[in-house]
Structure 1
Amino acid sequence: MSGSVPMLAVGQIRRRPAAFAGLAAALFLAVAAVTLFGALVAAQLTAPAAVSRAPVAGPGLVVIAGAFGEIAVLVALFVVVNALGFTLRQQHRELALLRTVAATPRQVRRLVRAEVTATVVLAAVPGAAVGSLGARAFLAALQRRGMAAPGLRIPGTPVPMLIALAVALLVGLAASAVAARRVTRPTPAAALTDSSAGPGRTGVLRLLAGAAVLAGGVLLLRLAATRPAGELDKAGQAALLSSLVLLIATALLGPAAARLLAAVLAAPVRALLPRAGWLADANLRGYAARLSSAVVPVALLVGLSATMLIMTSTAEHAARSTGVTTGVTKASDVWLRQAELGLLVCFAAVSTVNTLVALTADRRREFALLRLVGATRRQVLCMLSVEALLTTAVGVLLGGAVAGAATGAFSRAVSGSVLPVVPGPACAWVVVGAAVLTVPGIVGTGLWAVGGRAVEEVGGERG
């Protein structure tokens, strides 16, 4: 098998294009983000002394790139890890079958590394190109607002692109090493049985990691809430970072939290739609890992968007009340946060669509079995519609809880009250946006997935 690892890797990518397309899109965004902010730093560091020391409005290009890129790059890498974990779960049965035909754990890990490396290489060139173009556009926008020296130019050095490639490759290989343990650690027979039975309970290590990350998020909340009045900018950064850390904890602890929320929300749905509601509830609770994979991107979209919108509204309300303008409420900083919000929403939206489309497309055999036991295409689509609504609701609730905690801590630093000022219409549009991305993605893919002949789908291999 050693000599055929590259061929097997290419074959797996061709076999599951939907799953690997999602991973490639996530890596594309990660490379683009690292390249963008690395190019901005390079522009400042390579500029002549007369240009780099020119007075500008705001903290300067390096500080802006660092603060702006800190959250954006972390979000991009978080999306990569989430997409990679899902992609490897989609291959669990194939990798377990390789174990049964004498492939060693080391060979399986080499195959996974080859797949990740190939996907990184495919995404690196377009990602770096878009990142470089984005850096030029962003620098021009900063210069128009007087926040960057007019003489600064993005250099032609490939260093930011190479750093972006190295970061994406390191993150991908590290995440793949952790994810591959689920196939390589048990015996071949046990791994194959596990792939047939579906994901089991959340592992102890994952629960411990989730608890540790959650504790880190709580410490960041405390840091944001206790910042003095003169350091509201730092309180805002700590609050935004805490929301991302709490979302990572949500991803780690997601199966348990998602199953609980789905059970609560499904009760009225089962009463209104007994058949479709019951089946959708059974699917969501029975496949908690799958539900968690679908919910996490929605929670990421809602959590980060709502956090930034509520923080800005709270800071502006406090400024109007006290008459004191801080960095949080300056027009230039508000524009920066709006640009950052747009980038984060782009990351989260791509992650949401990719994950939901790939998850639904992978259920063709399940839909075919339902049709063989008497369900019509209309009933299957009705069930999917209910699942999509419940998935959206669970994601919105988890993201809203994270946003509430983060903005409550920021509000405590700004006004002394843990109740922030919530811009109702803007947050409503966030919820609508999450629903627009989620429901059509699931139902539209489901419409394609139930289009084939049921007997052929059940008789053929899955995926």
Structure 2
Amino acid sequence: MAVLTLALKTLRHRKAAFAGAFVTLLCAAALVTACGMLLETGLRGRVAPERYAGAPVLVAGDQYVHRTIHKSSGKTKHKAKPIAERAWIPASLTQRLRRTPGVREVVAEVTFPVGTKNGQAQGHGWDSAALTPFTLAVGRAPKAADEVVVDAGSGARVGTRFDVLTPVGPAAYRVAGVTRQALPSQDTLFFAPAEARRLAGRPGRVSAIGVFPTPGGRPDVAAALRGTGALQYTGDDRGAVEFLDAEQARVKLVSLGGALGGTSLLVAILVVAGTFALSIQQRQREIALLRAVAATPKQMRRLLGGEALVTAVVAGLAGSAAGIGLGFWLRSRFVALGAVPEHLRLVVSPFPAFAALLATVLAAWVAARISSRRAARVRPVEALGEAALPTARLPWPRLVAGLLATAAGVVLTLVLSTLSTEAASSPVTMLTALVWTVAVSLLGPLLARAAVALLALPLRASRVGGYLAAANLRVASRRLASVITPLCLLVAMACTILFVQTTMGHAAQREIAAGSRADYVLGPRVPGSAARSLREQPGVEAVTEVLHTSVRVGLTKYGAQAVTVEGLTRTTDLGVVAGSLRDLGTHSMAVSENAAGRLGVSVGDTVRLTLGDGTPATLNVAALYTRGLGYGDLTLSHALVAPHVDNPMGTLYVAAPRLTRAELSALVRAVPSATVMDRAEAVTASAPDAEVNYVAMGLIIAFTAIAVINTLGMSTSDRSRELALLRLVGTTRRQVLRVLRLEAFAALAVATVLGTGIALVTLTAFATGMTGSPTPYIPPLTYLGVLAPTAALALAATALPARLALRRHPAEVIGARQ
């Protein structure tokens, strides 16, 4: 208790010294809380049903692929992974459910995408209106094939013409009725039941079945479904079936929140350790005096640990509260970018805040104990000597730890160069950069002394300011190392995050540019009828229909494209190295060399996979190709995939060298969603959207930038006595500021070289594994965009505290520090 009281008094009289540690811990707690909220939303988030709100029990397909893994120990483990498309079920289940005791009514429905002038809508048969339930406000139910009922939000009136784009092509319907209701997050159209089933294109299958029990009845729906592959859903589980994008977003949030939270915590530990190390380094005179008046090493460790705990608890509580707001902001950005649907609400509970507080306190305590270990053990006479002139010797435990971190960085770099999937390489990439930064941090004083030796000559050429800057850097290499670490981390993290995306995007675009043979690309949602019509037009040599989906081989997910084979070589060159695309059909597929290596297959081998809607398929490998980054790991037949995707309207690659863009646009004017692009525009538009990653990882960059400001501000503020002495011996304010600027430029130069080197090593390994080329793509302007703000932060964080210190009279400063 006495030590804690002393710690509180120390904090009260050294507010400025602990401000940097407080801000760092507060930001760390906020970041970890926000990441924890994303992770918890991915694990426990629920979506309330809208379309199926009126059905107490819903029967639908299983949206997961299941595998039972038998371990060598004799135990078995069940794993499940989500599929990409909606799993449809046999329509014959309606009769089985009707015969189930306790069931009053059974309502089956089909769901399919429809394009309208207001955007995307969902089409259904009027016989399934009771699932919401929808009722008519005006008009009547659709009876003829050319009639439609629209919802209350459409703005249409009974008797008017209503143009839509359906999976079978554009069509005009007459509005027969308008519903009294409209769903919050989806526009709804109702067609005549037979017409709806024709448009859905799934004969004999339905997307869901609503079950209505008799009053007081409890039908055993699960027993009726046994052996069919269909499942029953109640409560909010109905929303998961209705909004498949929400379920897919939950999976993304689990991986994103976990990766971002883990990276944030590692960065926080590194930054907090550096901040406490600098704080203790600045207090060596105070620690020396305490040791000289008989304070034991144990008491010193408890004192410093107590200060860290008090600071961490206060900062952790404030940061956890701020993190809740940050979590809501992150969700709003992800919703705006389309990564998270609006109806997936953020889960708010005390667990992320509590975990962030615990992690912050633990990180601060460990950082303080490690940083104070040597200061507490040094003997009193040595402590007073070191306070006057810090030693340049690096403690052997720190040297050993630095060498181990370097070895770990080498191992991770070698591992990263062998990873060829984004799911495996992404977390290892960030970990590799962090481990290399830890090695730089531990070996910082040695690297700083070597850097000062190299910078001494150019600095001394700058007369008085350069001479003083060189002398200061040579004497205070440990202080320079403390400043270099956050700057190095900022450059390394920013370059790694940015250029991982540019490397992948550039490699994919390069392959698409090399493989593109089409003169025009039409998309993004064009029905197959438009493709058939174009093939018959004069001047059109070939039309390739392309759909994008994902399949699973076992539990592993692979990106896939589905193409029509006729005329494929005229529009696309996949870089076939074995086999032939002419053999591509409903029982075969083409595989990229990368995927073939992971699957261990070659031409003629058989692969068992699960299509996007959960349908199993066994396909022969007809060809191997090289351009998997640009065109997907697997290439399947359009005829095979189209019946198993939610939206069969895709992209058209058109070979029509004799037609102008205007002429081609006129040929597809009946399809409002068909945007015509030339080859160059199509290649540019194929760049992957990495904004979600930039928003998420940008928080870590912002946190690191705050650490840079804290560290440089603490370092400069602690030198007020030194600056006052320089003023007393005749150095002008301009010369003092020039010395500090030169020191800041020197630290920035060293940190830039080290940070860029870490990023280059990491990116080279990443590019080797993911693209097959060891050369990452680093746009020069983007790189300068990283360095310029970093330099501005470094100079501002150095100049502002220095100007404040220089406003006071030198004698006043020296008297206050005695």
Please report the TM-score for the alignment, with normalisation by the length of structure 2: 0.53
Hey, what does 1:415 align to over in structure 2?
Answer: 771
Hey, what does 1:283 align to over in structure 2?
Answer: 472
Structure richer in strand, relative to its length: 2
Retained in 2: the 8 A contact 1:297–1:351? yes
* Greater Cα radius of gyration, structure 1 or 2: 2
The partner residue of 2:364 within 169, 172, 194 is 172
Hey, what does 1:241 align to over in structure 2?
Answer: 431
Whether 1:263 and 2:470 are equivalent positions in the alignment is no
Pick closer, same or farther for the CA change 1:66–1:330 going to 2, 3 Å.
farther
- Gaps of at least 5 residues in structure 2 are 47-235, 513-628, 633-684
Shift of 1:7: 3.6
Retained in 2: the 8 A contact 1:298–1:396? yes
Shift of 1:346: 0.8
State the Cα deviation string for residues 78-128 of structure 1 (Å, max 9, x = none): 211111211222222212212222222222222112211111122122211
Please report the TM-score for the alignment, with normalisation by the length of structure 1: 0.92
Shift of 1:233: 4.1
Hey, what does 2:375 align to over in structure 1?
Answer: 183
Counterparts of 2:387 and 2:300 in 1: how far apart (Å)? 15
- Gaps of at least 5 residues in structure 1 are none
Correspondence 1:339-378 to 2 at 5 A: 339-378=695-734
Counterparts of 2:408 and 2:311 in 1: how far apart (Å)? 32
Retained in 2: the 8 A contact 1:232–1:413? no
Hey, what does 1:46 align to over in structure 2?
Answer: 44
Name the aligned partner's letter for residue 248 of structure 1.
V
Correspondence 1:100-115 to 2 at 5 A: 100-115=292-307
Counterparts of 1:339 and 1:325 in 2: how far apart (Å)? 24
State the Cα deviation string for residues 142-197 of structure 1 (Å, max 9, x = none): 34445445443333421211111111111111121122222221222222222222
Counterparts of 1:239 and 1:362 in 2: how far apart (Å)? 36
Shift of 1:333: 6.1
Hey, what does 1:455 align to over in structure 2?
Answer: 811
Counterparts of 1:180 and 1:72 in 2: how far apart (Å)? 24
Hey, what does 1:20 align to over in structure 2?
Answer: 18
Retained in 1: the 8 A contact 2:459–2:469? no
Q: Which moved more, 1:64-73 or 1:30-39?
A: 64-73
Counterparts of 1:152 and 1:332 in 2: how far apart (Å)? 24
Hey, what does 2:610 align to over in structure 1?
Answer: none
Pick closer, same or farther for the CA change 1:180–1:285 going to 2, 3 Å.
same
Q: Which moved more, 1:162-171 or 1:176-185?
A: 176-185
Counterparts of 1:127 and 1:162 in 2: how far apart (Å)? 11
Counterparts of 1:331 and 1:88 in 2: how far apart (Å)? 48
State the Cα deviation string for residues 335-370 of structure 1 (Å, max 9, x = none): 222113321221111111111111111111111222
Q: Which moved more, 1:257-266 or 1:163-172?
A: 257-266
Shift of 1:244: 1.2
Counterparts of 1:442 and 1:146 in 2: how far apart (Å)? 40
Pick closer, same or farther for the CA change 1:269–1:167 going to 2, 3 Å.
same
Structure having greater relative contact order (Cα 8 Å, sep ≥ 6): 1
Retained in 2: the 8 A contact 1:392–1:439? no
Hey, what does 1:70 align to over in structure 2?
Answer: 262
Whether 1:442 and 2:798 are equivalent positions in the alignment is yes
Report the secondary structure of 2:294's partner residue.
Answer: coil
C-alpha root-mean-square deviation of aligned residues, in Å?
2.3
Whether 1:300 and 2:300 are equivalent positions in the alignment is no
Hey, what does 1:399 align to over in structure 2?
Answer: 755
Counterparts of 2:422 and 2:32 in 1: how far apart (Å)? 27
Counterparts of 2:760 and 2:686 in 1: how far apart (Å)? 23
The partner residue of 1:125 within 310, 317, 322 is 317
Shift of 1:404: 1.0
Counterparts of 1:137 and 1:276 in 2: how far apart (Å)? 46
Q: Identity rate of aligned residues, in percent?
A: 35
Retained in 1: the 8 A contact 2:505–2:687? no
Retained in 2: the 8 A contact 1:79–1:347? no
Shift of 1:236: 3.6
Counterparts of 1:178 and 1:233 in 2: how far apart (Å)? 34
Shift of 1:450: 2.5
Structure richer in helix, relative to its length: 1
Hey, what does 2:736 align to over in structure 1?
Answer: 380
Q: Which moved more, 1:338-347 or 1:56-65?
A: 56-65
Name the aligned partner's letter for residue 196 of structure 1.
A
Whether 1:91 and 2:283 are equivalent positions in the alignment is yes
Pick closer, same or farther for the CA change 1:155–1:337 going to 2, 3 Å.
closer
Count of aligned pairs between the two proteins:
456
Name the aligned partner's letter for residue 356 of structure 2.
A
Retained in 2: the 8 A contact 1:143–1:149? yes
Pick closer, same or farther for the CA change 1:204–1:95 going to 2, 3 Å.
same
Hey, what does 1:313 align to over in structure 2?
Answer: 502
Retained in 2: the 8 A contact 1:217–1:246? yes
Retained in 2: the 8 A contact 1:302–1:399? yes
Pick closer, same or farther for the CA change 1:47–1:389 going to 2, 3 Å.
closer
Retained in 1: the 8 A contact 2:25–2:312? yes
Counterparts of 1:423 and 1:391 in 2: how far apart (Å)? 24
Counterparts of 1:325 and 1:21 in 2: how far apart (Å)? 49
Counterparts of 2:755 and 2:6 in 1: how far apart (Å)? 39
Hey, what does 2:274 align to over in structure 1?
Answer: 82
Shift of 1:457: 2.9
Counterparts of 2:740 and 2:45 in 1: how far apart (Å)? 55
Report the secondary structure of 1:33's partner residue.
Answer: helix
Name the aligned partner's letter for residue 223 of structure 1.
V
Counterparts of 2:409 and 2:399 in 1: how far apart (Å)? 15
Pick closer, same or farther for the CA change 1:316–1:252 going to 2, 3 Å.
same
Pick closer, same or farther for the CA change 1:211–1:138 going to 2, 3 Å.
same
Name the aligned partner's letter for residue 23 of structure 1.
A
Counterparts of 1:250 and 1:119 in 2: how far apart (Å)? 27
Retained in 2: the 8 A contact 1:309–1:423? no
Shift of 1:398: 1.1
Counterparts of 2:754 and 2:391 in 1: how far apart (Å)? 22
The partner residue of 2:355 within 135, 138, 163 is 163
State the Cα deviation string for residues 227-270 of structure 1 (Å, max 9, x = none): 23xx1442243222211111111111111112212332342232
Counterparts of 1:396 and 1:145 in 2: how far apart (Å)? 32
